[in-house]
């Protein structure tokens, strides 16, 4: 079964809109795990417009499933991850002012930098994953960095699927097979939803984990958090 890690950034956005502590992120993380999710993901950014760095520390004691911290490995982020020691760190090449992640790493251009960062995390026994586009050269470049896993950036798949182009999954299928052959685990995330997750799971082999936030939280507004999590789990249990 592919694990479901719930990204709680959007809950932090809601909290920050009014100040205070509603919704309470720590309690939400506890509830999400009780509802069956196998992981919690956070993605703090330098401006802390949703997840704050302190949130990442506060959640450490309460996440008993898998704890995944995503972000651009600037110095502050690297130091935080080394202090918290989550289950997994996912490196994402976000620009400082990015609204959301919009591209994977150029693993060839940034090979040396990624090797240095990844080796430091692995010395501290933190599993590493890097965000990549479904391009063979980038998958091969990822393997050269020493990363444990890749996370396939799935926005283009979701866009093509919504247009009815089912062949849009093909690059992801091929990338997952290649990554597995090169000894890396395969994660995926970005714009995956209840509409497309089963098809993606059926067509992308070796899929260890999906990280889903925006769609899941939006769907939960209508159906409730627990039912939505349960529905994702059923669609992933193939």
Number of other CB atoms surrounding residue 76 within 10 Å: 13
| Surface-to-core class of residue 194, CB atoms within 10 Å of its CB (0-12 exposed, 13-18 middle, 19+ buried) | middle
Residues annotated as catalytic are: 43, 70, 190
Cβ–Cβ contacts within 10 Å for residue 221, how many? 9
Rounded Cα distance between 158 and 145, Å, is: 28
DSSP-derived letter for residue 2 is: P
Q: Which of 12, 1, 2 is nearest to 213 (CA)?
A: 12
Burial class (CB in 10 A: 0-12, 13-18, 19+), 132: buried
Tokens of 217: 């939280």
């Amino acid at each position: 079964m592919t694990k479901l890690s719930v990204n709680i950034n959007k809950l932090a956005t809601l909290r920050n809109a009014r100040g205070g502590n509603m919704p309470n992120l720590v309690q939400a993380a506890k509830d999400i795990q009780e509802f069956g999710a196998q992981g919690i993901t956070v993605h703090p950014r330098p401006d802390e417009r949703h997840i704050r760095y302190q949130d990442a520390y506060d959640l450490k004691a309460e996440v008993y499933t898998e704890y995944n911290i995503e972000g651009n490995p600037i110095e502050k982020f690297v130091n935080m991850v080394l202090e918290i020691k989550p289950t997994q760190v996912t490196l994402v090449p976000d620009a400082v002012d990015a609204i959301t992640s919009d591209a994977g790493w150029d693993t060839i251009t940034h090979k040396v930098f990624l090797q240095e960062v990844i080796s430091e995390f692995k010395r501290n026994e933190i599993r590493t994953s890097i965000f990549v586009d479904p391009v063979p050269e980038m998958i091969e470049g990822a393997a050269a960095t020493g990363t444990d896993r890749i996370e396939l950036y799935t926005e283009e798949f979701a866009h093509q699927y919504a247009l009815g182009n089912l062949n849009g999954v093909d690059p992801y299928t091929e990338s997952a097979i290649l990554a597995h052959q090169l000894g890396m685990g395969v994660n995926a995330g970005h714009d995956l939803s209840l509409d497309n997750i089963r098809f993606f799971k059926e067509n992308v082999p070796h899929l260890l984990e999906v990280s889903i936030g925006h769609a899941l939280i939006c769907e939960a507004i209508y159906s409730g958090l627990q039912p939505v999590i349960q529905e994702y789990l059923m669609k992933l249990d193939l």
